[in-house]
A and B are shown apart, each in its own frame.
Chain A
Amino acid sequence: MKTEELISALAVDTLPQPKVSSLLWRALPLAVAVSLCAFALFWGPRPDIVAAMSSYAVLKTLGPVVLVALAMAVAVATVHPASSQKIPGVLLGAVIAVALGVFSVFLAREGQSALVHALSIPDLWVCLLSVPVLAVPMLGGVLWALSSGATTSPRLTGALAGLVAGGAAASVYSLYCNKDMVLFVLPAYSSAIAVVVLAGAALGPRLLRW
């Protein structure tokens, strides 16, 4: 087939294609709903949820939401070739830096033994398993939406999809988790999210090729 013939065939097909962000807005609420249903069935909110939500423990839920919003902005930028991802990227880096900063302040104040003590509870394993499981529908939805885009670095985009899904799952899981110590929450949630990030990075090259 000659190139000009291909062009003639392409030019006739002017059906509009949905934007990546609108696909994301279609997939994500659905995925969150699935995740919340699973949460209601198998986890359920902590008994003192109302009191927790009006204390500083609410940060466990809201912090990941900020992470999700920024990771989503960067991920969407990476599937638009030649579009800048600087501003959301810098903000995302800043959020991660703040989390690290808070962690080191608390670590310096309470010492390493307090960290070991905080993490040597079975809840750590519940957290490390629950968050990735709750993230599965979100990761699927986000990767599906992003695959309609055109990423030039599938591994990075996949990892960002994992960050979106992991963050959202951590936010859902925080409604169950009744451990509010900073030295538990920050390392446990971060590791759980990191598992999802790695899963996204592994799946990206396979699912986001075009």
Chain B
Amino acid sequence: MRAANRGDAVAYHRVLTAITPILRKVVRARGSGLGTEGCEDVLQDVLLAIHRKRHTWREDQPLRPWLYAIARHKVVDAFRARGSRVEMSIDDFAEGLPAVDGPDPTMGRDMEKVLSALEPREADLVRAFGLRGETTAETAARLKMSEGAVRVALHRALKSVARLRKRMIE
């Protein structure tokens, strides 16, 4: 995480990948009423919060309590927002539905809504790095921008994502 805060993207990717299963367990344990997809949405919220607030981790302190504090805060938020919404089990309708492959348990729903509410260019950037795994150089060439401009644009796009997610929860 220290290297990540110095701008090491590979180290940062490794950290996020390593903490995700642990956080998923925390979210599922506390949010069993939200359903698998609901939990994945909360998990993605937690990851987004960790990303947006990564400067509030003090490097001389252990990382785990900080991660848990963020996760706890976001799970509580999610419950407050979704508490009134009824989660119906798909099993109730299973007989009337054509058989489909089980949904991917790591698929979130809310992020799609956010991306479609985003400016097309910002959404394209998030998709480029997330879904298509582009590098900044590739994206820069495709959009005829400098790499620095791509970085700034992605930073802003993720900021907008966080803002829209917050509004959805409110």
Residues of A at the B interface (CB closer than 8 Å) are 1-20, 79-83, 148-150, 152, 209-210
Q: Which of B55, B73, B104 contacts A2 (CB 8 A)?
A: B104
What is the bound-complex CA distance between A7 and B52, given in angstroms? 13
Given contacts A3-B106, A81-B66, 11 further A-B contacts (CB under 8 A): A1-B44, A1-B131, A7-B16, A8-B133, A10-B16, A13-B158, A15-B152, A19-B55, A81-B70, A150-B73, A152-B73
Q: Which of A3, A14, A18, A20 contacts B47 (CB 8 A)?
A: A3
Which residue of the partner chain B has the closest CB to A148?
Answer: B55
How would you classify the secondary structure of chain A's contact residues: helix, strand, loop or mixed? loop
- Supposing A9-B154, A13-B158, A81-B73 touch, asked if A3 and B20 sit within 8 A by C-beta, the answer is yes
List 22 A–B pairs whose Cβ atoms lie within 8 Å, in order of A's numbering: A1-B107, A1-B111, A2-B106, A2-B107, A2-B108, A3-B24, A6-B48, A7-B47, A10-B47, A10-B158, A13-B154, A13-B155, A15-B7, A15-B155, A19-B55, A20-B56, A79-B56, A80-B58, A82-B65, A83-B58, A209-B166, A209-B170
What is the bound-complex CA distance between A209 and B133, given in angstroms? 31
- Supposing A8-B13, A9-B129, A13-B154 touch, asked if A3 and B49 sit within 8 A by C-beta, the answer is no
- Contact across chains for B20 and A7 when beta carbons are under 8 A apart: yes
Minimal beta-carbon separation of A185 from chain B (angstroms): 37
Which residue of the partner chain B has the closest CB to A19?
Answer: B55
* A11, A79, A80, A209 pick with most chain B CB within 10 angstroms: A11
- Contact across chains for A210 and B166 when beta carbons are under 8 A apart: yes
- Which residues of A sit under 8 angstroms from B9, Cβ to Cβ? 11-12, 14
What is the bound-complex CA distance between A2 and B109, given in angstroms? 9
- Which residues of B sit under 8 angstroms from A15, Cβ to Cβ? 7, 151-152, 155
Task: Assign chain B's interface to a size class.
Answer: 35 or more
Which residue of the partner chain B has the closest CB to A149?
Answer: B56
What is the bound-complex CA distance between A149 and B10, given in angstroms? 25
Minimal beta-carbon separation of A113 from chain B (angstroms): 51
- Contact across chains for B12 and A11 when beta carbons are under 8 A apart: yes
- Which residues of B sit under 8 angstroms from A9, Cβ to Cβ? 126-127, 129-130, 154, 158
Indicate whether B17 reaches chain A with its CB closer than 8 angstroms.
yes
Q: Mark B7-39, 1 if CB is under 8 A from A, else 0.
A: 111101100110010001000000000000000
Q: Which of A3, A6, A16, A81 contacts B69 (CB 8 A)?
A: A81
Q: Which of B55, B108, B127 contacts A3 (CB 8 A)?
A: B108
What is the bound-complex CA distance between A126 and B154, given in angstroms? 50
What is the bound-complex CA distance between A203 and B44, given in angstroms? 28
